[in-house]
Amino acid sequence: MKALSIRSLTKTYGNGVQALRGIDLDVQEGDFFALLGPNGAGKTTIIGIIVSLVTKSGGNVEVFGYDIDRALAHAKSCIGLVPQEINFNQFEKVFTIIVNQAGFYGIPRRLALERAERYLRQLQLWDKRDQIARSLSGGMKRRLMIARALVHEPRLLILDEPTAGVDIEIRRSMWAFLRGINEQGTTIILTTHYLEEAESLCRNIAIIDGGRIIENDSMAGVIRKLSHETFVLNLRCAITAPPPLPGYVSRMTDDHTLEVEVSKEQSLNDIFARLTQGGFEVVSMRNKVNRLEELFMRLVENRGAASAQGS
Amino acid sequence: MEATAPSLARIRRIGLQTIVRREYGRIIRIWGQTLVPPAVTATLYFVIFGSLIGRRIGPMGGYDYMQYIAPGLIMMAVITNSYGNVVSSFFGAKFGKHIEELLVAPLPNWLIVIGYISGGVMRGLLVGTVVTCVALFFTHIPVENPLLVAGSVLLTSVVFALGGFFNAIFAKNFDQISWFPTFILTPMIYLGGVFYSVSLLPEWAQRLSYANPILYMVNAFRHGFLGTSDVKVGLAFAIMTAFAIAMFTLVVTLMNRGTGIRE
């Protein structure tokens, strides 16, 4: 079953800005789906329309088969939202925020109290339950919003940049938590600027730019489309000039570091063989940037160049 | 996960209970801002207008001046607090963005409006009770018709809670939530027969006063206590009911349109 089905979705704001120009998108039940795009691409507008915070200009949206024009309440009851901006009452206690949210979704009070405890414990906020939300750190506020979104146990969890400004340790614990939730059957849609996060968590991906979907495939399929990757090689001995690597674009970044661009048709074995032959010893290697990030940048840059040419 | 999702009827029932409980919690949590100031203001009114100046004014409508103004002062507190509670709570939720908690939930807009209005009515009635207790320190207030008292205070608080909601929908900053109470509501209350009978006014001023809906609310309420009124009580109830229905329809329509809350 489709958790989300979007057809010909358009949105033009009152100031004339066309945020969405005909979006078609499907997310299957159980998926962990990445919705990526540069700032202002339209990601938050799509999410806003799905949860009815933004009124669409045209098109259709269905959540688990419920059309938001005809069965909005049913559609909404399937969704949990973790928005980009903090949007809880900062003067309320942590526990009260979660229990109230459960009430807004029709969860009886006794069950709401049990679930509030469960999710606050899972997100390491139980000892903060009696604190006023304003006093929490940035990372805790993000986790509080995740606990709040989960308390009615939605079938579809939408996370709009949930780890923005969160330190790496908490980010990784949030990833593990979200993986667990997804494995238990919750469909997750994630927008993030940390492409490593999207690559690590998501099975399918859509990239949006200028209000249009410019890529929509499985994560593996998207990564396969990457025509070039740049590798950073750390050499044991210092060098004064780049080793000869005919057919490859390479450059020194310092006397122990070499960057080599490798296309799909070329092979790393060949590079290592040539370096070994020349007496260069490689001690470590890494991608210069995350692969998804590289693809993302190329797609967005290509689109930018195409629109510049068009104009 | 639960085997079955809650029905819409259950979502609405529990959702409304939750909004009402949250609003009640807010009123009690900030009691220093909600319950104490009206008691202080009412005490000052009774001391200055009732005891000091009132003695020189003499009886009004067949009652001594303190007794005459007591229902008006209670109603004034009910009006300002019903209005103030909803305008500050709903605008605060818009300003802090936590109104989104309700907007993304499967609750219809009319139910959200009822939830906030219930909060305004609760505060209006709580403050009305506090001011009545203060009044009883200064004077005896007879109750001629308890049903009339209850009906008029309830309808009035509903109308002004809806007024506060309407203000909050359009307000874009804190100045805009204080503008209407300062420049429109307060003059209307003071000219609405709280401190005097309109029969004392020249005819043109009496005619003008009859265009003020607060005059009907104060007089219906006073009639419930003292059995005296400047207006027909039936007409007063018709006006209050019409205002309540019109205002409710208006704010729900605005909410459905997304005015001030959705992009």
- Cβ contact (<8 Å) for B11 and A77? yes
Closest-approach residue (CA) in chain B for A149 = B101
Residue A191 maps to a domain? yes
Domain ranges of chain B: 8-257
Task: State whether A172 and A90 are in the same domain.
Answer: yes
CA atoms within 13 A on the CB side of A24: 2
Residue A242 maps to a domain? yes
Q: Does A29 touch chain B (CB under 8 A)?
A: no
User: Which chain A residues contact residue B19 at CB under 8 A?
Assistant: 104
- pLDDT at B12 (0 to 100): 97
Residue A107 maps to a domain? yes
Closest approach of A80 to chain B, Cα-based (Å)? 9
List, for residues A104-158, the tens digit of each pLDDT value: 999 999 999 999 999 999 999 999 999 999 999 988 999 999 999 999 999 999 9
Closest-CA residue to A130 (of A108, A101, A97): A97
CA distance B104 to B40: 40
The complex scores an ipTM of 0.89
CB A35 within 8 A of CB A46: yes
Entry pTM = 0.86
Task: State whether A70 and A17 are in the same domain.
Answer: yes
Do the strands A187-191 and A204-209 form a parallel or antiparallel pair, or are they unpaired?
unpaired
Residues 6 or more apart whose CB falls under 8 angstroms from that of B53 comprise none
Do the strands A66-67 and A58-63 form a parallel or antiparallel pair, or are they unpaired?
antiparallel
Task: State whether A185 and A237 are in the same domain.
Answer: no
Task: State whether A285 and A215 are in the same domain.
Answer: no
DSSP string, B105-163: SS--HHHHHHHHHHHHHHHHHHHHHHHHHHHHHH-----S-HHHHHHHHHHHHHHHHHH
Task: State whether A259 and A115 are in the same domain.
Answer: no
CA distance B237 to B249: 18
Q: Which domain holds residue A244?
A: 228-291
Task: Assign A307 a pLDDT band (cuts: 50, 70, 90).
Answer: low
- The first and second tokens of residue A39, run together, are 């700032």
List, for residues A35-79, the tens digit of each pLDDT value: 998 888 899 999 999 999 999 999 999 999 999 999 999 999 999
Task: State whether A94 and A171 are in the same domain.
Answer: yes
User: Which chain B residues contact residue A103 at CB under 8 A?
Assistant: 14-15, 17-18, 21
Residue A256 maps to a domain? yes
Closest-approach residue (CA) in chain A for B93 = A89
Position with higher pLDDT, A200 vs B93: B93
What is chain A's mean pLDDT, rounded?
90
> Would you tell me how many other CB atoms lie within 10 Å of the CB of residue A281?
10
Residue A142 maps to a domain? yes
Count of structural domains within chain A: 2
**What mean pLDDT do residues A269-293 have?**
85
Interface of A with B in 102-161 (CB under 8 A): 103-109, 148, 153
End-to-end CA distance of chain A: 42
Task: State whether A15 and A116 are in the same domain.
Answer: yes
Closest-approach residue (CA) in chain B for A44 = B263
Write phi, then psi, for A108 (nearest 5 degrees): -60, 150
DSSP string, A108-159: -HHHHHHHHHHHHHHTT-GGGTTSBGGGS-HHHHHHHHHHHHHTT--SEEEE
Of all residues in chain A, the percent with pLDDT exceeding 70 is: 95
Q: Does A283 touch chain B (CB under 8 A)?
A: no
- Cβ contact (<8 Å) for B14 and A106? yes
Q: Which of A90-99, A157-166, B219-228 has the lowest mean pLDDT?
A: A157-166
- pLDDT at B255 (0 to 100): 96
Task: State whether A112 and A203 are in the same domain.
Answer: yes
Residues 6 or more apart whose CB falls under 8 angstroms from that of B197 comprise B60, B61, B68, B230
List, for residues B154-209, the tens digit of each pLDDT value: 999 999 999 999 999 999 998 999 888 899 999 999 899 888 889 889 999 999 99
- pLDDT at B2 (0 to 100): 41
User: Which chain A residues contact residue B100 at CB under 8 A?
Assistant: 53, 83, 87
Closest-approach residue (CA) in chain B for A82 = B101
User: Which chain A residues contact residue B262 at CB under 8 A?
Assistant: 52-55
Using 70 as the pLDDT threshold, list the residues of chain B that sit under it.
Answer: 1-5
Task: State whether A237 and A254 are in the same domain.
Answer: yes
- Cβ contact (<8 Å) for A107 and B14? yes
Task: State whether A138 and A283 are in the same domain.
Answer: no
Residue A244 maps to a domain? yes
CB B82 within 8 A of CB B123: yes
Q: What is the CATH number of the domain that holds A286?
A: 3.30.70.1560
> Would you tell me how many other CB atoms lie within 10 Å of the CB of residue A280?
17
CA atoms within 13 A on the CB side of A153: 16
**What mean pLDDT do residues A12-34 have?**
95
- Domain termination site, one of A192, A224, A256: A224
Task: State whether A130 and A262 are in the same domain.
Answer: no
Judged against a pLDDT cut of 90, whether residue A221 lies above it is answered with: no
Judged against a pLDDT cut of 80, whether residue A224 lies above it is answered with: no
- pLDDT at B1 (0 to 100): 43
- Cβ contact (<8 Å) for B25 and A77? no
Residues of B with CB under 8 A from a CB of A: 1-2, 5-8, 10-15, 17-19, 21-22, 25, 93, 96-98, 100-108, 258, 262-263
Query: Which one of A55, A84, A96, A105 makes the best mutation probe of the B interface by having the most chain B beta carbons within 10 Å?
Result: A105
**Packed helices A138-150 and A94-104: angle between N→C axes, nearest 10 degrees:** 30
Judged against a pLDDT cut of 70, whether residue A290 lies above it is answered with: no
CB A89 within 8 A of CB B93: yes
CB B154 within 8 A of CB B217: no
CA distance B217 to B196: 14
User: Which chain A residues contact residue B22 at CB under 8 A?
Assistant: 96, 100
Task: State whether A154 and A265 are in the same domain.
Answer: no
Beta bridge partners of A79: A156
Position with higher pLDDT, B160 vs A14: B160
Q: Does A180 touch chain B (CB under 8 A)?
A: no
- Of the candidates B1, B7, B262, the beta carbon closest to that of A54 is on B262
Q: What is the CATH number of the domain that holds A31?
A: 3.40.50.300
- Cβ contact (<8 Å) for A104 and B107? yes
Of all residues in chain A, the percent with pLDDT exceeding 90 is: 62
